[in-house]
Structure 1
Amino acid sequence: MQASTATSGAEFKAAKKDIKVFPIVLAFLMSGFIGLFGETALNVALTDLMQIFNIGSATIQWLTTGYLLTMGVLVPLSGLLMQRFTTRQLFMTSLIFSCLGALIGAVASSFGVLMVSRIIQAVGTALLLPLMFNTILLIFPVEKRGAAMGLVGLVIMFAPAVGPTIAGLLIEALNWHYIFWLSFVFLAIALIIGIFTMQNVSETTKPRIDLLSMLLSTLGFGGIVYGFSSAGEGDGGWTSSTVVISLAIGLVALIIFTIRQLKISNPLLDLRAFKYPMFALGALMVALCMMVILSSMLVLPMYLQVGLAFSTLSAGLILLPASALNGLLAPIMGKLFDKYGPKWIVLPGIVLIAVALWLFSGVTIASSVAFIITVHIIMMIGVSMIMMPAQTNGLNQLPPQLYPHGTAIINTMQQVFGAIGTAVAVSVMSNGQAKYMSQATNPNDPSLIPLSLTAGVQDAFVFGMIIAMVGFVLSLFIKRVVVNRLH
């Protein structure tokens, strides 16, 4: 196993003694929380927005697809941006985009304006997340990174978890515009904190911009995300011309992009990071975990609302305890990682996820709320045991010059694998639903809808369990990175 080139605590203190860590971390955590809160908060308002703007489900899904597409295109470029621009410049730019997007959403009176708002918000989040990870790696010594990444994990897991619940309360008490007003207020506060406290913690190298790599990255990652998202939400499914052409263009562009990155001296996304085995393993574990999380976040609310006839707010409240616990556990898992390393945290974590998904694959319309909350808690505890430990261990193995590329690669893989997981889960669920209906005596009986959807949900959780089993095999090979203190 290759040794990490991360700096030790003594060397770190000598090099970074002037960095004021607390205000930097506070600004990032606040802005990251609201950025990710906004990513899921609007989901519970989609049904209302369809009626308000008089549009169908295929159109309203663009509020999600457009967001994912923008993230998928921009996140791979973040490695280059972090080398060309200072920490302060990128933080301010990301917050300005996020504030502008939230403000436009708060006053939007048409679907088109709201769509523009979502794209601008996605630009801000796409710049912010890789920058946050990269900055944490630079301002904390390796022996404290687990705890620091745990705080980041709290934000990344807790914000999307409480998003639907808070949004449900806002919609019930006020209206959907206040989701954006709430985001704008906190983003503006984070921007003000950043103006006075954000410091430059990385060196800028001004690498040459390779326009062909940018084009290939956009076509490749954009094509893959768009293709899978379209397959998951469209009527034509996997055989529609849009899906086939998008995936074909994306795949060809990604192959050419990969070959080019390995040949040029200043790659847009330095894929040589995959030469470090623990980084490659950690990135894949995080990506598989994201597939499970995003597909479950889509399937479970549908099961609760259609299969068990709960309201939007009730469904959000049922899912809240596990999701909130997942966020609160992240800092604890970070400290355990610092003390014990990744293997004996990640391995039991993936087992818990697989067990939970197996239990979920047996849900029926008679399943109790207590059962669903308990199994969801088991699954989310498992998620908290994997995400930050696997990611931190992998990034620890990279030399500092690869930190921007490493964080960009992991964030890109999360977007792409998340889109794939969601699309496949929807497809599996739809096929299961259709199969149930085809075997029914009277397929037009409306009372069969909850039963058929539940049958599809069962199949979707079996798919998730298969993903978890792949993760289990990978977790057997994870090892703690040995820190090179002579660097």
Structure 2
Amino acid sequence: MEAKKIYTEKRPKYNAKAIMFVLLLGSFIALFNETILNVAFPKLMVEMHITATTAQWLTTGYVLVVGILVPVTAFLIHTFTTKQLFLSAMVLFLIGTLCAVFSSTFTALLISRIIQALGTGMLIPIMMNSALVVTPPEKRGSIMGLCVCIITLGPALGPAVSGLLLQHFSWHSLFVLLIPILLICIIGGYFYLENISVITKPKIDYLSILLSTIGFAGIIYSVSSAGNSSLLSTAVVFVIGFIALIFFCKRQLSLKQPILEIRSFRHPIFAIGVLLIILMQMFNFSINVILPLLLQNGLKTSSFTSAMAILPPILVGCVLTPFVGKIYDKIGGSILIPLGFLVACIFTFMLSRISPSTPIRTITLIYCAIMVGTSMSMSTTQTTSLSELSGKNQADGVAIVNTGMQIAGALGSALFVGVMTAYQNIYLKNMNSGADPSSQVKAIYIGFSRSVTVAAVLIGIGFILSLILSKKSRTKDSVK
């Protein structure tokens, strides 16, 4: 009742539709940009003389910077107005995009991507916090479904659109496409955005930022380089990152105004929900990296064909996620979440069994089924998790969830590309026939199979945890 009262008092001050349209469009284009280069990796590898593991840092580095910035944005939201933050983010994004258009080397392109990520890192928390403020509690399932649809659709649609453009233009055109849309977002933000946050001018703890940067970067880098670096160096970097995260968590517990309120994990439903989101997002993000690599390098398809192969599953996810949100508003997530994980697990395992003789349409259909499971589980898990927290802690919950999603994307991309590359290299080394075309194709499929098998195991673990989440949710509802 209290949440509804607060909403009723504040709602007349906001033009909710205009605010959410601008924020959703800006967030979509930023997330779309995360994976826009995925289909171009084979061309970039040849043009810039880099490996697949190096090329994926154009995506992993982008997501890593976003993940590091998300918790910082929780402070920025209470320091600057919504309009100031949004316009600053979009201008940074535009500067990075212009730099990418004129990049000719891997280093220049990576720096451009990092500049873009500095803008993207602010956009996702702004969108999620705004959605919670301007939407009544009884409709949060629907609006969260729409937000998660944007978060899922953006990265998923990037490879499809870029695959179409690369048929006729160079990879630079991918960034040229973004410029007019970014200008529209900046103009719309200037005229329609209102401030919906309470300005409290909190103090930012720079040591926490340093520790989180070292922690997340160390872990992501160690996983990403596992296939090409020595075991000792990989282990050292991982341990440094892990220790930094431990100190980061301890510091958050000692601060009066932590950069990330990790005490929210004391709520079992929230803690399990965040873990489920991470497990699903790891593969949901990464499949659009490794599948184009398989299709283009294994089946020797064009970028256009690989884009068309992943487009139908993307559309399935786009249509289903808001619809599932409406169902959640009526029946909750105790059935939807476990069922979604089960469906995703079964068909992910099926995807790991494909061979060079498997038709592309079969691969597409399996991916569509995976997206059905993803649509049933992602937004519902997120809504269930955030609903567990009190109103004053929901902003921290949003920061934690979005940090988890961004880091999961970076970690998943590094993990699955790393596993795929490692097994591919092991096969070629054992066969001692690296130049043989048939061996190259076989190696790619073996690497893909092992990578997706790991994903199926992780999603299977998610299914078990979702049953526990469902049981705890039902127990809590019965107590009420």
TM-score range, shorter chain: over 0.9
Note the C-alpha offset of 1:11.
4.1
Match of 2:436 among 431, 445, 460: 445
Is the CA contact (8 Å cut-off) linking 1:83 and 1:404 kept in structure 2? no
CA distances 1:273-300 after superposition (whole Å, capped 9, x unpaired): 1122222122111110011213322332
Name which of structure 1's ranges 16-25 and 392-401 shifts more when overlaid on structure 2.
392-401
> Relative to structure 1, is the Cα distance of residues 424 and 265 closer, same or farther in structure 2, using a 3 angstrom cutoff?
same
Match of 2:66 among 63, 66, 71: 71
Instruction: Give the structure-2-normalised TM-score.
Output: 0.92
Instruction: Give the structure-1-normalised TM-score.
Output: 0.91
Give distance in 1, aligned partners of 2:147 and 2:444. Answer: 36
Match of 1:143 among 129, 135, 138: 138
Q: Which amino acid aligns with 1:310?
A: T
Give distance in 2, aligned partners of 1:47 and 1:431. Answer: 17
SS of match in other structure, 1:390: helix
Give distance in 1, aligned partners of 2:374 and 2:178. Answer: 26
CA distances 1:216-271 after superposition (whole Å, capped 9, x unpaired): 12222222223223336xx226x152x33332221111101111111221111110
CA distances 1:9-50 after superposition (whole Å, capped 9, x unpaired): 354122322211011111011111111111111222233334
> Relative to structure 1, is the Cα distance of residues 55 and 347 closer, same or farther in structure 2, using a 3 angstrom cutoff?
closer
Name which of structure 1's ranges 204-213 and 365-374 shifts more when overlaid on structure 2.
204-213
Give distance in 2, aligned partners of 1:228 and 1:7. Answer: 45
Note the C-alpha offset of 1:57.
5.0
Is the CA contact (8 Å cut-off) linking 2:224 and 2:418 kept in structure 1? no
Q: Which residue of 2 aligns with 1:311?
A: 302
Q: Which residue of 2 aligns with 1:337?
A: 328
> Relative to structure 1, is the Cα distance of residues 419 and 240 closer, same or farther in structure 2, using a 3 angstrom cutoff?
farther
Note the C-alpha offset of 1:53.
4.5
Give distance in 1, aligned partners of 2:347 and 2:52. Answer: 30
Give distance in 2, aligned partners of 1:266 and 1:259. Answer: 13
> Relative to structure 1, is the Cα distance of residues 427 and 105 closer, same or farther in structure 2, using a 3 angstrom cutoff?
closer
Q: Which residue of 2 aligns with 1:269?
A: 260
Q: Which residue of 1 aligns with 2:229?
A: 236
Is the CA contact (8 Å cut-off) linking 1:231 and 1:423 kept in structure 2? no
Is the CA contact (8 Å cut-off) linking 2:281 and 2:405 kept in structure 1? yes
Q: Which residue of 2 aligns with 1:320?
A: 311
Q: Which residue of 2 aligns with 1:282?
A: 273
Q: Which amino acid aligns with 2:136?
A: P
Note the C-alpha offset of 1:61.
4.1
Give distance in 2, aligned partners of 1:253 and 1:16. Answer: 42
> Relative to structure 1, is the Cα distance of residues 110 and 85 closer, same or farther in structure 2, using a 3 angstrom cutoff?
same
Q: Which residue of 1 aligns with 2:373?
A: 382
Q: Which residue of 1 aligns with 2:387?
A: 396
> Relative to structure 1, is the Cα distance of residues 240 and 314 closer, same or farther in structure 2, using a 3 angstrom cutoff?
farther
Task: Report matched runs for 1:242-261 at 5 Å.
Answer: 243-261=234-252
Q: Which amino acid aligns with 1:423?
A: A
Is the CA contact (8 Å cut-off) linking 1:7 and 1:142 kept in structure 2? no
Q: Which residue of 2 aligns with 1:3?
A: none
Match of 1:29 among 24, 28, 42: 24
Q: Which residue of 1 aligns with 2:114?
A: 119
Number of equivalent positions: 475
> Relative to structure 1, is the Cα distance of residues 376 and 196 closer, same or farther in structure 2, using a 3 angstrom cutoff?
same
Is the CA contact (8 Å cut-off) linking 2:101 and 2:175 kept in structure 1? yes
Task: Report matched runs for 1:185-196 at 5 Å.
Answer: 185-196=180-191
Q: Which amino acid aligns with 1:102?
A: T
> Relative to structure 1, is the Cα distance of residues 38 and 419 closer, same or farther in structure 2, using a 3 angstrom cutoff?
closer
Note the C-alpha offset of 1:171.
2.3
Q: Which residue of 2 aligns with 1:198?
A: 193
Q: Which residue of 2 aligns with 1:362?
A: 353
Is the CA contact (8 Å cut-off) linking 1:80 and 1:268 kept in structure 2? yes
CA distances 1:412-439 after superposition (whole Å, capped 9, x unpaired): 2123233333333234334443454466
Note the C-alpha offset of 1:301.
2.0
Name which of structure 1's ranges 45-54 and 251-260 shifts more when overlaid on structure 2.
45-54
Q: Which residue of 2 aligns with 1:415?
A: 406
Q: Which residue of 2 aligns with 1:471?
A: 462
> Relative to structure 1, is the Cα distance of residues 220 and 424 closer, same or farther in structure 2, using a 3 angstrom cutoff?
same
Give distance in 2, aligned partners of 1:102 and 1:414. Answer: 23
Note the C-alpha offset of 1:212.
2.0
Q: Which runs of 5+ in 1 are unaligned?
A: 1-5
Is the CA contact (8 Å cut-off) linking 2:220 and 2:414 kept in structure 1? no
Give distance in 1, aligned partners of 2:396 and 2:144. Answer: 17
CA distances 1:178-215 after superposition (whole Å, capped 9, x unpaired): 21121111111011111111011111222222222222
Q: Which amino acid aligns with 2:44?
A: L
Give distance in 1, aligned partners of 2:52 and 2:447. Answer: 19
Name which of structure 1's ranges 360-369 and 291-300 shifts more when overlaid on structure 2.
291-300
Give distance in 2, aligned partners of 1:194 and 1:466. Answer: 43
Q: Which residue of 1 aligns with 2:125?
A: 130
Is the CA contact (8 Å cut-off) linking 1:65 and 1:226 kept in structure 2? no
Q: Which runs of 5+ in 2 are unaligned?
A: none
Match of 1:168 among 146, 163, 166: 163
SS of match in other structure, 2:400: helix
> Relative to structure 1, is the Cα distance of residues 411 and 11 closer, same or farther in structure 2, using a 3 angstrom cutoff?
closer
Instruction: Report whether the alignment pairs 1:13 with 2:15.
Output: no
Q: Which residue of 2 aligns with 1:107?
A: 102
Note the C-alpha offset of 1:104.
2.1
> Relative to structure 1, is the Cα distance of residues 423 and 104 closer, same or farther in structure 2, using a 3 angstrom cutoff?
closer
> Relative to structure 1, is the Cα distance of residues 60 and 441 closer, same or farther in structure 2, using a 3 angstrom cutoff?
closer
Give distance in 1, aligned partners of 2:25 and 2:48. Answer: 32
SS of match in other structure, 1:172: coil
CA distances 1:98-118 after superposition (whole Å, capped 9, x unpaired): 122122222334444323321
Give distance in 1, aligned partners of 2:52 and 2:293. Answer: 14
User: Percent same amino acid among aligned pairs?
Assistant: 37
Is the CA contact (8 Å cut-off) linking 2:164 and 2:307 kept in structure 1? no
Taking only aligned residues, the RMSD between alpha carbons, in angstroms, comes to 2.4
Is the CA contact (8 Å cut-off) linking 1:68 and 1:225 kept in structure 2? no
Q: Which residue of 2 aligns with 1:43?
A: 38
Q: Which residue of 2 aligns with 1:226?
A: 221
> Relative to structure 1, is the Cα distance of residues 46 and 368 closer, same or farther in structure 2, using a 3 angstrom cutoff?
closer
